[in-house]
Structure formats: structure tokens, C-alpha cells
Amino acid sequence: MDTDYKSRTRRKNEDRALQRLGEQLVTMPSGQLETMGLPAELLTAIEFARRIRSHSARRRQIQYIGVLMRHIDPRPIEIALDRIRSGNLRK
């Protein structure tokens, strides 16, 4: 049996978690995002999402951010967000 198998439900839940993480990134100030060391393509997508006013278009952009985040390790981003929330901005 393939050890890398993920059920469809598990993949969807992971994708939704990445989208929620992406939504948090969209609400953050640009200065904090730059200190996180995110890929340029992801930063561009986040900046674009901030300018979108249409609800459905913004939702699609958040989904795209989730797709981009599939290709990077989200754990360092989660750690950085936790540090920012707790007020400890040092690495």
C-alpha cells in the first residue's frame, strides 16, 4: 500500500487550513510579511488579494494563495504568526 496516500477528505481539510492561514497573511501589515521570508510569488498574491473588493473574487484569490502554499512548508509561517500574536517578534 502507498504510504503517501491521503484521503480526499484529508486533502480538502489540509487545503482549507492553508486557505485560513492565507487569510491571516492577507490581514497582516506588509512590514511583518516581509520579515517572514515568504516567496515573492506568494507576497504578490497576498498584495493583490488586499486590493480586491469583490467578495467572490477575493475568495478565489484566497484559494489561489492556498494553492501556492501547498508548495512551501507552512510550519515556519505558523510559528512566525504565533510569535507576532504573542508580541515576541524576535526569531
Task: Specify the CATH number for the domain of residue 48.
Answer: 1.10.60
Q: Can you tell me the distance from the alpha carbon of 31 to that of 56, in angstroms, rounded to the nearest whole number?
A: 27
Measured between alpha carbons, how far is 55 from 21 in angstroms, rounded to an integer? 18
Per the domain annotation, does 32 fall within a domain?
A: yes
Residue 1 has pLDDT above 60, yes or no: no
pLDDT-derived band at 90, boundaries 50, 70, 90: low
Q: What was the pLDDT predicted at 2?
A: 58
Tens of pLDDT, residue by residue over 23-78, are: 999 999 988 888 888 999 999 999 999 999 999 999 999 999 999 999 999 999 99
Whether residue 40 is contained in a domain is answered as: yes
Structural domain for 74, as ranges: 8-86
Residue 56's pLDDT is 96
Is residue 48, in this structure, part of any structural domain at all?
yes
User: Does residue 3 belong to any structural domain of this protein?
Assistant: no
The H or E element that residue 56 is part of is helix 55-69
Q: In this predicted structure, what is the pLDDT of residue 63?
A: 95
Q: Total structural domains in the chain?
A: 1
Residue 78 included in any domain: yes
Cα–Cα distance measured from residue 45 to residue 27, given in angstroms and rounded to the nearest whole number: 13
